[in-house]
Amino acid sequence: MYSDSKDIIILGIESSCDDTSAAIVRNGYLLSNVMANQDVHRKYGGVVPELASRAHQNNIIPVVDNAVKLAGISLEDISGVAFTRGPGLLGSLLVGTSFAKGMALARDMALIDINHLQAHILAHFIYEKGKEQEIPGFPFLCLLVSGGHTQLVVMKEDMNIKVIGQTIDDAAGEAFDKCAKLMNLPYPGGPEVDKLAKEGDPEAFKFAKPRIKDFDYSFSGLKTSFLYFLRDEMRKDTAFIEDNKKDLCASLQKTIIDILMKKLELAARETGIKEIGIAGGVSANSGLRNAMLEHAGSHGWKVYIPEFRLSTDNAAMIAISGYYKYLKGEFADQSVAPDARWKIQ
Ligand code: KG4
Ligand code: ZN
């Protein structure tokens, strides 16, 4: 039923948080990747789940329609529809899941459920026509840093992923966002901190670094140390944040990157792996990207850094993950339901 054409064309749908995205991948090559961001959350300083699911409901049909048109294909050509089953916001996941199930049923397409975290890592395996790119060799060590997760994983040849370390409390993206909020920066704070940090002194202030065993991370202590530092300084000078914003951002960013790189270095040393990448929204951070490039030189790593548009949430990574699952014959059926806390298997 699913393999009557030579080409394998996968439609990917991402709706785990506040971006509605659809993408088309043909035989592993990206044909289109369309995104609708939701500005509605900005004024609330964070994603409002109820508003997110309503916006997905409005966006999903035009976004899918656009992705199909831009890819220059028709719905009949699609072999399978891949969707984010989790982790994420349940109401948001429900929109993408229900849409994909309906489409697969109506058009007799394969249905493929995708883990959002795994997909961030698979973003390294997307080919694009006209672009020279290398995909990672195996085993591949990847630092997955997003708004909700911070994990160190090893991917083997069969594309199975093993988590070897993770945060015991906040994620790195959360540390960026929460500390940014304390400085009255708009949501999401990560990109704002990144921008301001470029003009600040990373050595201006020192913040607490965690002592956590093995390959695990912790970011809640940093957030608390940042909060107390600001509170104390603001008591002495109410303009402290305003007057020192760039230095605060640069110092905060440096601390987060130091914490991330220390465990990545340890993992690289202990596993002996030299094929090393970053993935997830925080991998868009310019300081983290530079730190990776420096390590390539000083530690002999071969580093893989996704393009900006493939770092943050996007459907291209869902479509490529769907393509690889399609090749393995791993399909879902109509009983599949979203899983807001779905872990990497
Ligand atoms: O992967 P992602 O788009 O969504 C989740 O699955 O969580 O990651 C979003 C996170 C947010 O915390 C955001 O602040 C952070 O990625 N982020 C950044 C940058 N761009 C996005 N953090 C630091 N620097 C950036 N340039
Ligand atoms: Zn994500």
Contact (CB, 8 A) for 303 and 277: yes
pLDDT score recorded for residue 131: 86
Q: How confident is the model at residue 5 (pLDDT cuts 50, 70, 90)?
A: low
Mean pLDDT within 77-93: 98
Q: Is the pLDDT of residue 334 over 80?
A: yes
Least confident range from 123-137, 158-172, 209-223, 248-262: namely 123-137
Q: Is the pLDDT of residue 316 over 50?
A: yes
pLDDT score recorded for residue 269: 98
Mean pLDDT within 65-69: 98
Q: How confident is the model at residue 278 (pLDDT cuts 50, 70, 90)?
A: very high
Which one of 15, 143, 146, 307 would you pick to mutate in the ligand 1 pocket, going by the greatest count of ligand atoms within 8 A of its CB? 146
Residue 280 CA: nearest ligand 1 atom is 1
Q: Is the pLDDT of residue 35 over 50?
A: yes
Q: Which ligand is nearest to the CA of 286?
A: 1
Which one of 38, 93, 278, 312 would you pick to mutate in the ligand 1 pocket, going by the greatest count of ligand atoms within 8 A of its CB? 312
Enumerate residues with CB within 5 Å of ligand 2 (an ion): 146, 313
> What confidence tens digit (pLDDT) does each residue in 130-181 have?
887 789 999 999 999 999 999 999 999 999 999 999 999 999 999 999 999 9
Mean pLDDT within 108-122: 97
Q: Is the pLDDT of residue 231 over 70?
A: yes
Residue 149 CA: nearest ligand 1 atom is 7
The type of residue at 122 is: L
Q: Is the pLDDT of residue 27 over 60?
A: yes
Arithmetic mean of pLDDT over the chain: 95
Which residues form the pocket of ligand 1, taking CB atoms under 6 Å from any ligand atom? 17, 146-148, 173, 176-177, 188-191, 194, 280-282, 284-285, 312-313
Q: Is the pLDDT of residue 250 over 60?
A: yes
> What confidence tens digit (pLDDT) does each residue in 219-230 have?
999 999 999 999
Q: Is the pLDDT of residue 320 over 50?
A: yes
Q: How many whole angstroms from 231 Cα to the centroid of ligand 2? A: 32
Q: How many whole angstroms from 148 Cα to the centroid of ligand 1? A: 9
Q: Is the pLDDT of residue 100 over 70?
A: yes
Q: How many whole angstroms from 9 Cα to the centroid of ligand 2? A: 23
Mean pLDDT within 55-73: 97
**Which residue's CA is the closest to the ligand 1 atom numbered 11?**
147
> What confidence tens digit (pLDDT) does each residue in 184-199 have?
999 899 999 999 999 9
What domains are there in the chain, each with its CATH number? 9-131+311-328 (3.30.420.40), 140-272 (3.30.420.40)
Q: How confident is the model at residue 3 (pLDDT cuts 50, 70, 90)?
A: very low
Mean pLDDT within 21-27: 98
